[in-house]
Chain A
Amino acid sequence: MKLLEYEAKNILAEYGIPTPTSLLVKKGDILPTPLVLKSQVPTGGRGKAGGIILVEKDEELKPAIDKLLNLEIKGFIPNTLLAEEKLSTKKEFYLSLLIDRQFAGIKLVAHINGGIEVEVNHDFKSWPIEDKSQLEITGQELADYYQLPDQTFALQDLLKNLYECFIKNDATLIEINPLILTEENNLVAGDCKMTLDDAAAFRHEWNFEEQPAEVNFVTINPNGNTATIANGAGLAMATVDAAFEAGLTPANFLDIGGGANEETLLKAFERIVEYKNLQVIIINIFAGITRADEVARAIVAAKEKISNLPPLFIRLAGTNYEAAEKILTENNIAILPDLESALKAAKEVIHE
């Protein structure tokens, strides 16, 4: 789950990491200027898109609020604006903690030049973080790298707090960019991107604007003629690949997972029939932990509830297959022996 900037900064502040003085702003609010007004959208490139406005005078505030509340950034309109004190910046740095997949551990990543163009850099410096006890030394090395020997203690504290924040919140990424050194020689988190592990939601009381991303239903081509339903991410991807290879144009990727029941299937059908060029639906289920007979019952029930459903080409296999075959046959729904024949049969009914 990706947090908005103000949500991420609230968490940073709880862990003693300095953030700018700030307020959430509504339409019509009156605040003392100067201030920086920031659109709270769940995407990068906000500054370039005009989503951050420096408000110097009181009379500029109202138009700035109105403008940002209506400004769409990469498809997102903000629900919230953040007003922050204007910092006097001496220098900007990049700092992040993340989970590195290949190393299978936590890494600290830094760059001496922070800010909006940071991704063009290739010379990031990184440290594997094996344990809390190394943070003092890493903090010292970070101060050397940033060429901020006077800030060694502050950076050591910052790392300890950041690490604790990372662990306690089940974060997979905390990126502070820029980390600002002010003219008063304070280190402050200028902006923050934070991603939390959805799988850990059960042990937190998370209440954020952004909902967990929907990962199981993805539109590939809204004009496609073929909808795909499969169980398991790999099989769902392979079903899309095979549909392409067979000359069909898949509209979507859908993994109905292990709990394929009537409700999930009905929801899937309802979304699929929205595709305007849809002509066939491929269902490819290989039951392992799923049970094929439950899927068959769900298909029968869901099919009855949606009248304008295009023809189904169903391939079922695995756990409880015999029972599934019986249910579908009794309801005059054909099962095809493998995906290849299902795709071939589907191709035959497609018209341009």
Chain B
Amino acid sequence: MNNLFEGKNVIVQGITGAHGSFQTKAMLTAGTNVIAGTTPGKAGQEVEGIKVYDTIKDIQATHQVDISVIFVPAPYAKGAILEAITADIPLIVCITEGIPIHDMLTINKILKTSNSTLLGPNSPGALIPGGNKLGIIPADMSLRGNTAIVSRSGTLTYETMAGLTNKGMGQKYVIGIGGDVIHGIGYKECLQLFQDDPGVDKILLIGEIGGQDEIEAAEFIKKHVTKPVFAYIAGHHAPEGVQLGHAGAILGSDQESADNKTKILAAAGAKTANSITELITLVVAN
């Protein structure tokens, strides 16, 4: 999966939209090789000097595409992701928030038999400081180095990254897997990537209340991760049964609480914190 995030040629689906164009500029500034973008019906336009095409197929007539970053609004996002899957794009990063669950179920089914890997949706994307910025993680708060972050939250990812940078600790990878109930790659795939990459020496896992993903991640850590893992689960004071912000963050049972997930991660060998500040302190000290 390493090679996936380091893919060379990047396109932006939904490049002419407000977010698409703004973030394309930020991706270019960070040094990402954005070669083209799509918005149906807007072929021939340019955004930040990048050529706009109607479809991915039109781009592929003359270019190889390794990665697509999607900023298409939720009602059209399913079509955009399926277009990228059909075009055999190795890594699809979907930033879009608010995609209906049934659309994601259809996409997940098709993904299983495809040649594509999906990160997101409702994800800030991935950042390799000094390399690819695939999405909206602010690159100017990052620093090249040997830690790796995987998180379900967007802004909390930035907070963690900025906290490390402020202490002079750089990052090899910063990855947001997205806050939705049904999503593409998760903690396990990212932990495997971090474990296998000799450029990573410390792993930070940021979780939230709701669901079982962090509990499965703890099992994976116990069995397959030998590098030090530092974890923080947000929502220690969340009321039960109330959805907090995005769809995935709802505390269904005691098992899904921040306290319980923290306990299970600690039992799996992770060093755990009760706030981001404490987490950064732990990483610096260990």
A interface residue numbers (CB < 8 A to B): 99, 101-102, 104-106, 130, 167, 170, 172, 197, 199-200, 202-203, 213, 215-216, 218, 220, 230-238, 240-242, 244-245, 250, 253, 255, 257-258, 286-289, 317-319, 338-340
Enumerate chain A residues within 8 angstroms of B102, measured Cβ to Cβ: 167, 170, 197, 200
Enumerate chain B residues within 8 angstroms of A340, measured Cβ to Cβ: 277
On whether A234 and B206 interact (CB within 8 A), knowing A199-B99, A286-B159, the answer reads yes
Pair A288/B236 contact, Cβ less than 8 Å:
no
Q: Within 8 Å of chain A (Cβ to Cβ): is B278?
A: yes
Max chain B CB contacts within 10 Å: which of A99, A232, A234? A234
A203 vs B154: C-alpha distance when bound (angstroms): 27
On whether A242 and B138 interact (CB within 8 A), knowing A102-B211, A199-B98, the answer reads no
Q: Within 8 Å of chain A (Cβ to Cβ): is B155?
A: yes
A85 vs B98: C-alpha distance when bound (angstroms): 41
With both chains docked as a complex, state the minimum distance between the C-beta of A204 and any C-beta of chain B, in angstroms. Answer: 10
Pair A99/B181 contact, Cβ less than 8 Å:
yes
Pair B275/A250 contact, Cβ less than 8 Å:
no
Pair A242/B101 contact, Cβ less than 8 Å:
no
For chains A and B in complex, what number of residue pairs have CB atoms within 8 angstroms?
162
On whether A244 and B246 interact (CB within 8 A), knowing A202-B74, A203-B75, A234-B152, the answer reads no
Pair A220/B100 contact, Cβ less than 8 Å:
no
Q: Residue on A with the closest CB to B97?
A: A258
Enumerate chain A residues within 8 angstroms of B159, measured Cβ to Cβ: 235, 238, 286, 339
Q: Within 8 Å of chain A (Cβ to Cβ): is B33?
A: no
On whether A255 and B244 interact (CB within 8 A), knowing A104-B108, A203-B75, the answer reads yes
With both chains docked as a complex, state the minimum distance between the C-beta of B175 and any C-beta of chain A, in angstroms. Answer: 14
Q: Which 4 A-B pairs have the closest CB atoms?
A: A234-B153, A233-B245, A232-B155, A234-B156
Q: Contacts A238-B234, A241-B258 given; 5 further ones with Cβ under 8 A? A: A199-B74, A203-B100, A234-B245, A238-B153, A319-B26
Enumerate chain A residues within 8 angstroms of B243, measured Cβ to Cβ: 213, 215
Q: Within 8 Å of chain A (Cβ to Cβ): is B223?
A: no
Q: Within 8 Å of chain A (Cβ to Cβ): is B47?
A: no
Pair A241/B235 contact, Cβ less than 8 Å:
yes
A231 vs B155: C-alpha distance when bound (angstroms): 7
With both chains docked as a complex, state the minimum distance between the C-beta of B257 and any C-beta of chain A, in angstroms. Answer: 12
With both chains docked as a complex, state the minimum distance between the C-beta of B14 and any C-beta of chain A, in angstroms. Answer: 13
Q: Residue on A with the closest CB to B162?
A: A317
Enumerate chain B residues within 8 angstroms of A104, measured Cβ to Cβ: 105, 108, 182
With both chains docked as a complex, state the minimum distance between the C-beta of B68 and any C-beta of chain A, in angstroms. Answer: 18
A-B contact list, 13 entries, CB within 8 Å: A99-B101, A99-B182, A202-B75, A215-B242, A215-B243, A215-B244, A220-B237, A234-B245, A235-B156, A237-B235, A237-B245, A241-B236, A289-B124
